[in-house]
Structure 1
Amino acid sequence: MERRPGLGVGTGTALCIGAVLGPGALTLTSTAAAAAGPGSILVWLGLVVVSLPIAWVFAVLSARHPDGGGVAAFVRRAFGPRLAAPVGWWFYWAVPLGVPAAALIGGEYTAAAAGWEHFAAPVVALLVLATAYGSNLVGLRLSGRMQLLMVGLLASLLAVTIAVTVTRIQPARFTPFLPHGWTSVGIAAGILFFAFAGWEAISHLSAEFSAPRRDLPRATLLAWGIVSVLYLGLALVTIGVLGPRAGTTTTPLTLLLERGFGAPARAVAAAAALLLTFGAVNAYLAGAARLGEALGHQGAMPRSMTTGAAGATAVPRRSLTVVTLASAVITVTAAFGLIGLDSLLHATSACLAAVTLAGLASATVLLRGRTLLRISAAVSCGVVGAVLIFCGPFLLVPTALAAAGTAFHAVSASDRTTHSATTHETARSHGTAGNREKGIAA
């Protein structure tokens, strides 16, 4: 069977940008401004700086150890399978929490920009989810090409928006700088981690690269540069142009586009919302699907999650279907108001921060001979740990998932041991009976 070509720098960069940029660009500039006022720019800047060593550590780890298990595979190598199982559960089940939030944010943006009724938002969200599912079903190579085209259009749109509105910035909009005190900076960091918690997602796609050692680090650096410029630019113009409205609106990008291009910009905002949402949903479903397949093979999730398909580029259909259906159920639940979007965002951030922390801890063990990177990983562990503290009660989500993942792995390991012992005993008894039959025959 001929192996299909894998991802290159272009498609890899697009998937990275889609995972990190996502719908955070639609609303998080406003959410952060509500939490910390103009001082939220410090948080954006700090997270941009901190995310570079984090992104680079994951790129190097993924290039050295390409595996669909992603961070869970790193933890497995560094600390063993018992600790890898809960890490895998953190990422896999964080996706059905984060994807509905992303899809609904994009749906609300699209509905508001197009002038549709409120009920259209969950419909748009489910359509985005279905499209991403179909895109992943046909294979990551085609999905990556679609993402490359959309990310190119989106990055151009955001860059033009920033360039057009930056001239409207008023210095007075930045005072008072910290209206809620310095503690609000930590609260904003806990919220904004969602905007930068995508670097670990590409590790699950590392085995899909044609030349991971060469192309994956390049794709990561390119993605970090583009994402950093766009996020900082959007944060700056959101506060400097919108002023007090920055912390009260739920559609800051629409308001910015209207300031720059007038009322027709609403249609552009709707298109941007769809592109951003699809990019994030597409990348996270792809990563989770491959992780579920890997965990199934390792006994950290049910064997029914595996398809048995051969080759690194095979589509993990069962795992993809499970995570997509779970996302759809939570999307509908949130649409009826049974789960709040803020709760979904905070829970997802807590899970992804825990995954990031586990990956960085693994790097301090696996990156022998790379002293600077190991130091960067150790320092980043402290930063991410501090962000986790500000997640507060939402830490119960990764705690519960860790307990469930650990328990499942323990039961699965016990079953495998029992099965292995039974098989061995059966084979031994058959061998003994065979020997007796030979003796009788003789």
Structure 2
Amino acid sequence: MSLARSAGAGRERQPEEARPAPARELGTRGLVIFYVTSLVGAGLLGVPTVTAAIAGPASLIAWAVLALASYPMARLFAEMSARHVDASGLSALIRSGLGRPAGDTAHILLVLVYMAGNPVMGIISARYFCHLTGLGEGWTMYVAAGFMTLSVAFNGLRLALGARIQQAALVLLLLGLACAVVLAAPEMSVSRLTPFAPHGWPAVGTSAVVAFFSFLGWENVSAVAEEVRDPARAFRRAIRYAVPAVGLVYVVVAGAYLLVPHPPGTMVLSALLGAWGGGAAGDLVALLIVVVATNAWVLGASRLTLAAARKGLLPAALGRVGRTGVPGRVLLALGVGYVAVLTAVGRSGVEEDRMVAVTSAVFLILYIVSAVAALRERPTPAMRVSALATGVLAAFFLLFTGTALVLALLLVLCAALVTARRRSRGRLVSNEEVT
């Protein structure tokens, strides 16, 4: 008797016919919006500061190279979404190429890392908000919980409406960044690019390792694949616009930062707006950047969690959605989970930098596994090249994650144990029913 027909599975899993078909509300433009808002986030605000300190003006080479090198990753996950129209994200590729146990473990791992990692953006938003309004440090976690709740509520809107709002916010974000660069132009001088490599050329490689983490996130949008019109065409077209757009934003902002005068360690927007008082304007633009990115990542988390429930990896009650297709129960669970994570972080005193490092290490592990899976499922020549490039890049940068790799491997172990336990209880849905 199949697992799906066992008594336990029958009680927990919602019947397939009761599930409304996902509304295909997104096209190429909507995907470009979610791609850009997933990638252009908190990393834009502080990472150029770090890379400039490491390699000086030569760090701009690292940003330019990574802007080009990110295309294979984007292409791999776009091809994945075109082949596997599944809200499971990259775990669908892993399941197809390496088998169900590996795919289910990857799925649970993604849910865990989204639950633990997304609140970091709430903390960053809270810090900017508190600086803007003059609230004390003691308010940070409360405000962070408020911002995460706001993003959860935002994702309670229909996807098409949310995409339009994200588009408007993205336009404001890009205009804000453009204004910051233009206002800083009178203070720019190419003389600040000399000496070009004050710390030697090896420092460029080190700065590239740091900058690479700003280009993680191409896989996030794959979670909405089931809600995309003509996904095979839309995903492939979307990266043609999204990859250059993301690369251009990072290179322009990093370059502008290097050209303006500022004390070492100054944050990007403060440096660009320094001659204009910076302060409030910089905080507002930064806050908008992080909130828009948070909305995109909570969207990905909601679809991944919904898919996990429907595959029997999480309680089936979470797999029920309303007539609008909004996963209300999942969003409620995410909201509670985010507040719980923030409460734990506030009491333990864990720094968000550590949380970011562990999250990045997990994604690098998943990138490597995804590349191997792609190579095993008869890839096209283009997909083979993308998979090889993604695997090599991820393996290289994983070497520099330090102790975060140990914690990431512990999360992998936890995900494997959860999957094994669900399997032993007969709660996993069979492959036929998943499709």
| 1:252 counterpart = 2:262 | no
* Alignment length (residue pairs): 411
1:286 aligned onto 2:286: no
Corresponding residue for residue 333 of structure 2: 322
- The alpha carbon displacement at 1:177 in A equals 4.3
SS of 1:404's partner is helix
Task: Name 2:166's counterpart in structure 1.
Answer: 147
Query: How far apart are 1:186 and its partner, in Å?
Result: 4.7
Q: 2:283 maps to which residue?
A: 270
Residue of structure 2 in register with 1:440 after alignment: none
How far is the alpha carbon of 1:211 from its aligned partner? Answer: 2.2
1:144-195 per-position Cα deviation (integer Å, ceiling 9, x unaligned): 2211110111112212322332453333433454555555445434433331
> What displacement does 1:399 show?
0.8
Change (3 A) 1:216 1:357: same
Deviation at 1:389, TM superposition (A): 0.9
Structure 1 residues 207 and 37, CA, compared in 2 at 3 Å: closer, same or farther?
Answer: same
Identity percentage over the alignment?
Answer: 27
Find the aligned partners of 1:324 and 1:367 in 2 and give their Cα distance.
40
For structure 1, which runs of at least 5 residues remain unmatched after alignment?
421-442
1:280-429 to 2 correspondences below 5 Å: 280-299=293-312, 301-304=313-316, 306-309=318-321, 314-335=325-346, 338-366=349-377, 368=379, 370-416=380-426
Kindly state the Cα deviation for residue 310 of structure 1 after the two structures are TM-superposed.
Answer: 7.8
The alpha carbon displacement at 1:70 in A equals 0.6
The amino acid of 2:274's aligned partner reads E
- Which range moved further: 373-382 or 316-325? 316-325
- RMSD over equivalenced CA pairs, Å: 2.7
Quote the offset at 1:335 in angstroms: 4.5
CA distance 1:367–1:47, shift in 2 (3 Å): farther
Report if aligned partners of 1:110, 1:273 keep a CA contact under 8 Å in 2: no
Give the CA deviation at 1:354. 1.9
The structure-2 alpha-carbon separation of the partners of 1:33 and 1:326, relative to structure 1 and needing over 3 Å to count, comes to farther
Higher helix share: 1
Higher Cα radius of gyration: 1
The separation in 1 between residues aligned to 2:189 and 2:80, in whole angstroms, is: 44
Q: For residue 197 of structure 1, report the CA deviation from its aligned partner.
A: 0.9
Shift of 1:238: 1.4
Cα distance in structure 1, aligned partners of 2:195 and 2:279:
31
Matched, 1:14 2:33: yes
Q: What is the alpha-carbon distance in structure 2 between the residues aligned to residue 278 and residue 206 of structure 1?
A: 23
> Counterpart amino acid of 1:13?
V
1:37 Cα offset (Å): 3.4
Indicate yes or no: 2:243 matched with 1:224: yes
Secondary structure at the residue paired with 1:392? coil
Alignment partner of 1:84 is 2:96: no
Q: Deviations over 1:396-438 (max 9, x none)?
A: 2321121122222222222229999xxxxxxxxxxxxxxxxxx
How far the C-alpha of 1:275 sits from its partner, in A, is 1.7
Which has the larger displacement, 314-323 or 339-348? 314-323
- Whether the 8 Å contact between 1:136 and 1:286 is mirrored in structure 2 is yes
Other-structure match for 2:177: 158
- Decide whether the 8 Å contact of 1:63 with 1:212 is kept in 2: yes
CA contact (8 A) 2:87 2:224 kept: yes
Residues 47-105 of structure 1, C-alpha deviations (whole Å, 9 max, x = no match) = 21111121122112212221100100111011111111232233222223332222222
Residue 53 (1) aligns with residue 78 (2): no
In structure 2, relative to structure 1, the CA distance for the partners of 1:223 and 1:328 (3 Å cut) is farther
Contact kept, 8 Å, 2:311 with 2:428, in 1: the verdict is no
Deviation at 1:5, TM superposition (A): 4.7
CA distance in 1 between partners of 2:129 and 2:176 (Å): 16
Cα 1:218–1:114 change in 2 (3 A) is: farther
- TM-score under structure 1 normalisation? 0.84
Distance 2:21 2:387 in 1: 39
Distance in 2, matches of 1:280 and 1:126, equals 16
Question: Which amino acid is the alignment partner of residue 258 of structure 1?
Answer: G
Counterparts of 2:368 and 2:185, CA distance in 1 = 36
- The amino acid of 2:325's aligned partner reads A
Question: Which ranges in structure 2 are unaligned for 5 or more consecutive residues?
Answer: 1-19, 431-435
Q: Is the 8 A contact 2:322 2:328 kept in 1?
A: no
Change (3 A) 1:417 1:380: closer
Output the CA distance in 2 between the equivalents of 1:97 and 1:380.
Answer: 24
| Aligned mates of 1:244, 1:222 — CA distance in 2 | 35
Question: Which amino acid in the other structure matches residue 107 of structure 1?
Answer: A
1:40/1:185 contact within 8 Å kept: yes
Query: In the TM superposition, what is the alpha-carbon distance from 1:29 to its structure 2 partner?
Result: 1.5
Q: Identify the residue that residue 5 of structure 2 maps to in structure 1.
A: none
2:64 and 2:252 map into 1 onto residues whose CA distance is 10
Relative distance call for 1:76 and 1:50 in structure 2 (3 A) is: same
Contact 2:193–2:258, Cα closer than 8 Å, also in 1: yes
Cα distance in 2 for partners of 1:356, 1:255 equals 34
Q: Distance in 2 between matches of 1:419 and 1:273?
A: 43
CA contact (8 A) 2:75 2:386 kept: no
Q: CA deviation at 1:277?
A: 1.4
Q: Is the 8 A contact 1:293 1:316 kept in 2?
A: yes
